[in-house]
Protein backbone atom coordinates (compact mmCIF):
# COMPACT_ATOMS: atom_id res chain seq x y z
CA UNK A 1 0.00 0.00 0.00
CA UNK A 2 0.98 3.65 -0.42
CA UNK A 3 0.55 5.57 2.82
CA UNK A 4 1.05 9.28 3.57
CA UNK A 5 1.55 10.69 7.06
CA UNK A 6 0.65 14.37 7.46
CA UNK A 7 1.90 16.55 10.32
CA UNK A 8 3.81 19.83 10.32
CA UNK A 9 6.29 18.92 13.08
CA UNK A 10 8.59 15.93 12.39
CA UNK A 11 10.69 13.84 14.77
CA UNK A 12 13.67 13.90 15.44
CA UNK A 13 14.10 17.43 14.03
CA UNK A 14 11.65 18.47 16.74
CA UNK A 15 11.21 16.30 19.83
CA UNK A 16 7.82 15.84 21.41
CA UNK A 17 5.30 13.14 22.25
CA UNK A 18 3.07 13.39 19.18
CA UNK A 19 6.10 13.62 16.91
CA UNK A 20 7.69 10.52 18.45
CA UNK A 21 4.55 8.40 18.02
CA UNK A 22 4.12 9.39 14.36
CA UNK A 23 7.79 8.64 13.70
CA UNK A 24 7.46 5.18 15.26
CA UNK A 25 4.32 4.39 13.25
CA UNK A 26 5.79 5.60 9.96
CA UNK A 27 9.02 3.69 10.58
CA UNK A 28 7.24 0.44 11.43
CA UNK A 29 4.73 0.65 8.57
CA UNK A 30 7.58 1.35 6.13
CA UNK A 31 8.75 -2.24 6.72
CA UNK A 32 5.70 -3.46 4.77
CA UNK A 33 4.38 -0.48 2.80
CA UNK A 34 5.52 2.55 0.78
CA UNK A 35 5.36 5.38 3.32
CA UNK A 36 5.67 9.13 2.74
CA UNK A 37 5.65 11.96 5.31
CA UNK A 38 4.40 15.47 4.44
CA UNK A 39 5.66 18.09 6.87
CA UNK A 40 7.30 21.50 7.31
CA UNK A 41 11.02 21.96 6.66
CA UNK A 42 12.85 22.31 9.98
CA UNK A 43 16.58 23.14 10.38
CA UNK A 44 18.72 20.24 9.20
CA UNK A 45 16.12 18.90 6.77
CA UNK A 46 16.24 18.79 2.97
CA UNK A 47 13.14 19.32 0.83
CA UNK A 48 13.04 15.69 -0.32
CA UNK A 49 14.88 12.81 1.35
CA UNK A 50 14.50 9.32 2.77
CA UNK A 51 14.92 8.57 6.47
CA UNK A 52 14.24 5.18 8.10
CA UNK A 53 12.76 3.99 4.78
CA UNK A 54 10.20 6.83 4.86
CA UNK A 55 10.12 9.38 2.02
CA UNK A 56 9.91 12.93 3.46
CA UNK A 57 8.42 15.93 1.66
CA UNK A 58 9.34 19.10 3.60
CA UNK A 59 7.84 22.50 2.76
CA UNK A 60 8.83 26.07 3.53
CA UNK A 61 11.15 27.00 6.39
CA UNK A 62 10.25 26.81 10.08
CA UNK A 63 12.11 27.00 13.39
CA UNK A 64 11.18 26.72 17.05
CA UNK A 65 10.85 30.52 17.13
CA UNK A 66 8.51 30.76 14.12
CA UNK A 67 6.42 27.69 15.05
CA UNK A 68 5.60 29.16 18.47
CA UNK A 69 4.51 32.70 19.35
CA UNK A 70 3.86 33.90 22.90
CA UNK A 71 4.18 30.34 24.21
CA UNK A 72 1.63 28.80 21.81
CA UNK A 73 1.47 27.40 18.30
CA UNK A 74 1.77 30.17 15.69
CA UNK A 75 -1.29 30.57 13.46
CA UNK A 76 0.86 31.79 10.57
CA UNK A 77 2.84 28.53 10.52
CA UNK A 78 -0.36 26.48 10.51
CA UNK A 79 -1.71 28.56 7.60
CA UNK A 80 1.50 28.08 5.60
CA UNK A 81 1.41 24.33 6.19
CA UNK A 82 -2.15 24.19 4.90
CA UNK A 83 -1.15 26.10 1.75
CA UNK A 84 1.87 23.89 1.11
CA UNK A 85 -0.25 20.75 1.49
CA UNK A 86 -1.67 21.36 -1.99
CA UNK A 87 1.38 19.47 -3.27
CA UNK A 88 -0.02 16.20 -1.95
CA UNK A 89 -2.39 16.19 -4.95
CA UNK A 90 0.64 15.34 -7.12
CA UNK A 91 0.69 11.86 -5.56
CA UNK A 92 -1.68 8.90 -5.30
CA UNK A 93 -2.05 7.27 -1.88
CA UNK A 94 -4.28 4.50 -0.58
CA UNK A 95 -4.35 5.83 2.99
CA UNK A 96 -3.75 9.22 4.61
CA UNK A 97 -2.76 9.17 8.30
CA UNK A 98 -3.02 12.75 9.50
CA UNK A 99 -2.72 14.28 12.93
CA UNK A 100 -5.76 16.44 13.68
CA UNK A 101 -3.53 19.37 14.67
CA UNK A 102 -2.90 22.06 13.57
CA UNK A 103 -6.54 21.78 12.32
CA UNK A 104 -6.22 24.25 9.42
CA UNK A 105 -4.94 21.59 7.01
CA UNK A 106 -7.91 19.24 7.51
CA UNK A 107 -10.07 20.57 4.61
CA UNK A 108 -7.16 19.90 2.21
CA UNK A 109 -6.67 16.37 3.56
CA UNK A 110 -10.39 15.57 3.40
CA UNK A 111 -10.69 16.99 -0.12
CA UNK A 112 -7.73 14.86 -1.23
CA UNK A 113 -9.32 11.68 0.14
CA UNK A 114 -12.61 12.49 -1.59
CA UNK A 115 -11.00 13.23 -4.96
CA UNK A 116 -8.43 10.42 -4.87
CA UNK A 117 -10.69 7.84 -3.20
CA UNK A 118 -8.17 7.41 -0.38
CA UNK A 119 -9.00 6.29 3.16
CA UNK A 120 -8.53 8.79 6.00
CA UNK A 121 -7.22 8.05 9.49
CA UNK A 122 -7.19 11.00 11.88
CA UNK A 123 -4.84 10.87 14.85
CA UNK A 124 -6.26 12.77 17.83
CA UNK A 125 -4.21 13.52 20.94
CA UNK A 126 -6.35 16.23 22.52
CA UNK A 127 -9.94 17.44 22.13
CA UNK A 128 -10.45 21.06 23.12
CA UNK A 129 -13.74 22.68 24.07
CA UNK A 130 -14.63 26.30 23.36
CA UNK A 131 -13.39 27.53 26.75
CA UNK A 132 -9.96 26.04 26.16
CA UNK A 133 -9.72 27.51 22.66
CA UNK A 134 -10.53 30.94 24.10
CA UNK A 135 -7.93 30.57 26.88
CA UNK A 136 -5.36 29.53 24.26
CA UNK A 137 -6.07 32.06 21.48
CA UNK A 138 -8.24 34.76 23.01
CA UNK A 139 -11.96 35.48 22.59
CA UNK A 140 -12.22 36.19 18.85
CA UNK A 141 -9.63 33.74 17.51
CA UNK A 142 -10.64 31.11 20.08
CA UNK A 143 -14.31 31.13 19.09
CA UNK A 144 -13.34 30.99 15.41
CA UNK A 145 -10.95 28.08 16.02
CA UNK A 146 -13.60 26.17 17.97
CA UNK A 147 -16.13 26.61 15.15
CA UNK A 148 -13.52 25.54 12.59
CA UNK A 149 -12.59 22.44 14.63
CA UNK A 150 -16.25 21.50 15.06
CA UNK A 151 -16.72 21.75 11.30
CA UNK A 152 -13.64 19.95 10.02
CA UNK A 153 -12.62 17.47 12.74
CA UNK A 154 -15.80 15.49 12.12
CA UNK A 155 -15.74 13.22 9.08
CA UNK A 156 -18.19 10.43 8.31
CA UNK A 157 -15.59 8.73 6.12
CA UNK A 158 -12.70 8.71 8.60
CA UNK A 159 -11.41 6.39 11.28
CA UNK A 160 -10.08 8.05 14.44
CA UNK A 161 -7.09 6.90 16.49
CA UNK A 162 -7.13 8.37 20.00
CA UNK A 163 -4.04 8.24 22.19
CA UNK A 164 -6.00 7.32 25.34
CA UNK A 165 -9.42 6.28 26.58
CA UNK A 166 -9.90 9.83 27.92
CA UNK A 167 -9.39 11.28 24.45
CA UNK A 168 -11.71 8.63 22.96
CA UNK A 169 -14.48 9.61 25.39
CA UNK A 170 -14.06 13.27 24.45
CA UNK A 171 -14.32 12.38 20.77
CA UNK A 172 -17.58 10.55 21.48
CA UNK A 173 -18.89 13.58 23.36
CA UNK A 174 -17.79 15.64 20.36
CA UNK A 175 -20.25 13.68 18.25
CA UNK A 176 -18.10 10.97 16.68
CA UNK A 177 -19.52 7.46 16.85
CA UNK A 178 -17.71 4.98 19.10
CA UNK A 179 -17.37 2.45 16.28
CA UNK A 180 -15.07 4.77 14.34
CA UNK A 181 -12.66 5.34 17.24
CA UNK A 182 -9.70 3.15 18.17
CA UNK A 183 -7.28 3.71 21.07
CA UNK A 184 -3.60 3.23 20.34
CA UNK A 185 -0.33 4.99 21.26
CA UNK A 186 2.85 3.04 20.39
CA UNK A 187 5.55 4.55 22.56
CA UNK A 188 7.63 2.00 24.40
CA UNK A 189 10.66 0.47 22.69
CA UNK A 190 10.36 -2.80 24.58
CA UNK A 191 13.72 -4.46 23.95
CA UNK A 192 15.93 -1.41 24.50
CA UNK A 193 14.13 -0.37 27.67
CA UNK A 194 14.15 -3.84 29.18
CA UNK A 195 17.89 -4.19 28.52
CA UNK A 196 18.70 -0.81 30.12
CA UNK A 197 16.45 -1.49 33.11
CA UNK A 198 18.14 -4.84 33.76
CA UNK A 199 21.64 -3.34 33.48
CA UNK A 200 20.94 -0.46 35.89
CA UNK A 201 22.45 -1.40 39.24
CA UNK A 202 22.35 1.96 41.05
CA UNK A 203 19.89 4.84 41.20
CA UNK A 204 21.10 8.24 42.35
CA UNK A 205 19.18 10.60 44.64
CA UNK A 206 18.11 12.52 41.58
CA UNK A 207 14.87 14.09 40.33
CA UNK A 208 14.47 14.08 36.57
CA UNK A 209 12.22 15.52 33.89
CA UNK A 210 12.51 15.72 30.10
CA UNK A 211 10.29 17.58 27.67
CA UNK A 212 9.81 20.68 25.57
CA UNK A 213 10.48 23.79 27.63
CA UNK A 214 7.14 25.52 27.12
CA UNK A 215 4.78 27.15 29.61
CA UNK A 216 2.39 24.19 29.79
CA UNK A 217 5.11 21.95 31.23
CA UNK A 218 5.17 24.16 34.36
CA UNK A 219 8.91 23.90 34.86
CA UNK A 220 8.54 26.89 37.19
CA UNK A 221 6.59 24.71 39.63
CA UNK A 222 9.02 21.84 39.04
CA UNK A 223 11.95 24.05 40.11
CA UNK A 224 10.17 25.31 43.23
CA UNK A 225 9.50 21.73 44.34
CA UNK A 226 13.13 20.76 43.65
CA UNK A 227 14.15 23.72 45.82
CA UNK A 228 11.98 22.53 48.72
CA UNK A 229 13.38 19.01 48.44
CA UNK A 230 17.07 19.99 48.35
CA UNK A 231 16.58 22.43 51.23
CA UNK A 232 15.47 19.46 53.35
CA UNK A 233 17.74 16.79 51.83
CA UNK A 234 20.94 18.39 50.56
CA UNK A 235 22.36 15.36 48.71
CA UNK A 236 19.47 15.39 46.21
CA UNK A 237 20.21 16.71 42.71
CA UNK A 238 18.04 17.23 39.64
CA UNK A 239 18.37 17.08 35.87
CA UNK A 240 16.15 18.91 33.39
CA UNK A 241 16.42 17.71 29.79
CA UNK A 242 14.91 19.69 26.95
CA UNK A 243 14.85 22.69 24.66
CA UNK A 244 12.22 25.33 24.02
CA UNK A 245 11.15 28.94 24.06
CA UNK A 246 11.02 29.11 27.89
CA UNK A 247 14.65 28.05 28.38
CA UNK A 248 16.04 31.54 29.02
CA UNK A 249 13.47 32.23 31.73
CA UNK A 250 14.08 28.81 33.28
CA UNK A 251 17.83 29.47 33.52
CA UNK A 252 17.11 32.80 35.24
CA UNK A 253 14.73 31.09 37.68
CA UNK A 254 17.40 28.53 38.56
CA UNK A 255 19.75 31.38 39.51
CA UNK A 256 17.02 33.18 41.47
CA UNK A 257 16.35 30.00 43.49
CA UNK A 258 20.06 29.37 44.05
CA UNK A 259 19.92 25.99 42.32
CA UNK A 260 22.90 26.40 39.96
CA UNK A 261 24.82 23.60 41.69
CA UNK A 262 21.80 21.36 42.11
CA UNK A 263 19.97 21.46 38.76
CA UNK A 264 21.72 20.32 35.61
CA UNK A 265 20.06 21.56 32.40
CA UNK A 266 20.98 19.81 29.18
CA UNK A 267 19.55 19.53 25.65
CA UNK A 268 17.76 16.48 24.30
CA UNK A 269 19.95 13.43 23.74
CA UNK A 270 20.60 12.48 20.13
CA UNK A 271 20.44 8.82 21.14
CA UNK A 272 17.22 7.82 22.90
CA UNK A 273 19.03 5.13 24.90
CA UNK A 274 21.12 7.84 26.60
CA UNK A 275 17.88 9.39 27.87
CA UNK A 276 16.71 5.97 29.04
CA UNK A 277 19.92 5.44 31.01
CA UNK A 278 19.55 8.86 32.63
CA UNK A 279 15.98 8.06 33.68
CA UNK A 280 16.84 4.56 34.88
CA UNK A 281 19.62 6.00 37.02
CA UNK A 282 17.27 8.46 38.77
CA UNK A 283 15.02 7.73 41.74
CA UNK A 284 11.99 9.72 40.62
CA UNK A 285 10.55 11.56 37.64
CA UNK A 286 8.54 14.64 38.59
CA UNK A 287 6.05 15.88 35.98
CA UNK A 288 4.17 19.11 36.77
CA UNK A 289 2.67 19.69 33.29
CA UNK A 290 -0.84 21.11 33.12
CA UNK A 291 -1.64 20.20 29.48
CA UNK A 292 -0.80 16.67 28.33
CA UNK A 293 -2.43 14.38 25.82
CA UNK A 294 -0.65 11.30 27.12
CA UNK A 295 2.95 12.03 28.30
CA UNK A 296 5.49 9.74 26.72
CA UNK A 297 8.19 10.63 29.23
CA UNK A 298 5.92 9.40 32.02
CA UNK A 299 5.37 6.05 30.32
CA UNK A 300 9.07 5.67 29.50
CA UNK A 301 9.99 6.34 33.12
CA UNK A 302 7.49 3.76 34.39
CA UNK A 303 8.74 1.17 31.89
CA UNK A 304 12.29 1.79 33.13
CA UNK A 305 11.22 1.22 36.72
CA UNK A 306 11.52 4.85 37.82
CA UNK A 307 8.46 6.03 39.82
CA UNK A 308 6.59 9.08 38.55
CA UNK A 309 5.07 11.76 40.78
CA UNK A 310 2.21 13.88 39.42
CA UNK A 311 0.16 16.74 40.93
CA UNK A 312 -3.56 16.13 41.38
CA UNK A 313 -4.39 18.59 38.61
CA UNK A 314 -2.43 16.59 36.01
CA UNK A 315 -4.55 15.88 32.89
CA UNK A 316 -2.59 12.70 32.10
CA UNK A 317 -5.19 9.96 31.30
CA UNK A 318 -6.37 7.40 33.83
CA UNK A 319 -4.57 4.36 32.39
CA UNK A 320 -1.28 6.22 32.92
CA UNK A 321 -2.18 7.98 36.19
CA UNK A 322 -3.07 4.63 37.72
CA UNK A 323 0.61 3.66 37.50
CA UNK A 324 1.85 6.95 39.03
CA UNK A 325 2.02 8.53 42.48
CA UNK A 326 -0.54 11.35 42.46
CA UNK A 327 -0.30 13.90 45.28
CA UNK A 328 -1.59 17.27 46.33
CA UNK A 329 0.93 19.83 45.13
CA UNK A 330 1.88 20.88 48.67
CA UNK A 331 2.65 17.29 49.68
CA UNK A 332 4.87 16.44 46.71
CA UNK A 333 8.20 17.49 48.33
CA UNK A 334 7.59 15.17 51.28
CA UNK A 335 6.59 12.31 48.97
CA UNK A 336 9.78 12.75 46.93
CA UNK A 337 11.89 12.68 50.10
CA UNK A 338 10.15 9.45 51.12
CA UNK A 339 11.08 7.96 47.74
CA UNK A 340 14.69 9.09 48.14
CA UNK A 341 14.72 7.35 51.53
CA UNK A 342 13.43 4.14 49.95
CA UNK A 343 9.77 4.45 50.96
CA UNK A 344 6.58 4.54 48.87
CA UNK A 345 8.22 4.01 45.49
CA UNK A 346 6.10 1.18 44.10
CA UNK A 347 4.71 1.26 40.55
CA UNK A 348 1.15 -0.06 40.46
CA UNK A 349 -0.83 -1.55 37.55
CA UNK A 350 2.27 -2.28 35.44
CA UNK A 351 0.16 -4.40 33.07
CA UNK A 352 -1.18 -1.11 31.64
CA UNK A 353 2.16 -0.67 29.88
CA UNK A 354 1.32 -3.40 27.36
CA UNK A 355 -1.07 -1.14 25.44
CA UNK A 356 1.82 1.23 24.61
CA UNK A 357 4.22 -1.28 23.04
CA UNK A 358 5.84 -0.40 19.70
CA UNK A 359 5.79 -4.08 18.78
CA UNK A 360 1.99 -3.80 18.27
CA UNK A 361 2.12 -1.21 15.44
CA UNK A 362 1.92 -3.57 12.47
CA UNK A 363 -0.88 -5.71 13.88
CA UNK A 364 -2.91 -2.65 14.91
CA UNK A 365 -2.74 -0.97 11.50
CA UNK A 366 -3.29 -4.23 9.62
CA UNK A 367 -6.58 -4.54 11.45
CA UNK A 368 -7.46 -0.89 10.89
CA UNK A 369 -6.70 -1.06 7.17
CA UNK A 370 -8.88 -4.14 6.79
CA UNK A 371 -11.78 -2.43 8.54
Q: Cα(365)–Cα(371) distance, rounded to whole angstroms? A: 10
Q: What is the DSSP string of 153-222?
A: S--TTEEEEESSHHHHHHHHHTT--GGGEEE----B-HHHHHHHHHH----EEEEEEES--SGGG-HHHH
Query: In this structure, is residue 272 part of a structural domain?
Result: yes
pTM score of the predicted model: 0.77
Residue 298: predicted pLDDT: 95
Domain that holds residue 205: 190-354
Mean of pLDDT values over 131-139: 88
Domain end (from 140, 155, 185): 185
The CATH number of residue 294's host domain is: 3.40.50.2000
Question: Into how many domains does the chain fold?
Answer: 2
What's the order of all strands across the beta sheet hosting 34-40? 48-51, 54-59, 34-40, 2-6, 95-99, 119-124, 158-162, 181-183
How far separated are the first and last CA of the chain, in Å rounded? 15
Question: 130 and 202 share a domain?
Answer: no
- 268 & 138 share domain: no
Name the band, by pLDDT with cuts 50, 70 and 90, for residue 191.
Answer: confident
Is residue 368 one of the residues assigned to a domain? no
Is 167 among the domain residues? Answer: yes
> How many whole angstroms from its chain centre is CA 20?
7
pLDDT tens profile 311-341: 999 999 999 999 999 999 999 999 999 999 9
Residues 207 and 338 in one domain: yes
- Whole-number pLDDT of residue 6: 98
pLDDT at residue 371 in the model: 85
**Taking 90 as the threshold, does the pLDDT of residue 157 lie above it?**
no
Amino acid sequence: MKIAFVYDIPYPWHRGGIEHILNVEARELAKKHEVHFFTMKWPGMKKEFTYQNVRYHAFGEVTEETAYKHGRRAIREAVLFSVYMKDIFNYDFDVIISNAFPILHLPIVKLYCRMKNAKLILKVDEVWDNDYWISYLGMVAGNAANLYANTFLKSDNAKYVANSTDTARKLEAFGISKGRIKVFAPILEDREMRSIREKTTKRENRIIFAGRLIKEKRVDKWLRIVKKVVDRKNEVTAVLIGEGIEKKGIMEEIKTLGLEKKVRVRPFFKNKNELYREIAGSKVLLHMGEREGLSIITLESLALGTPVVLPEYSPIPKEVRDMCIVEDEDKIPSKIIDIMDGNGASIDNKSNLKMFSVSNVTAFYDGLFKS
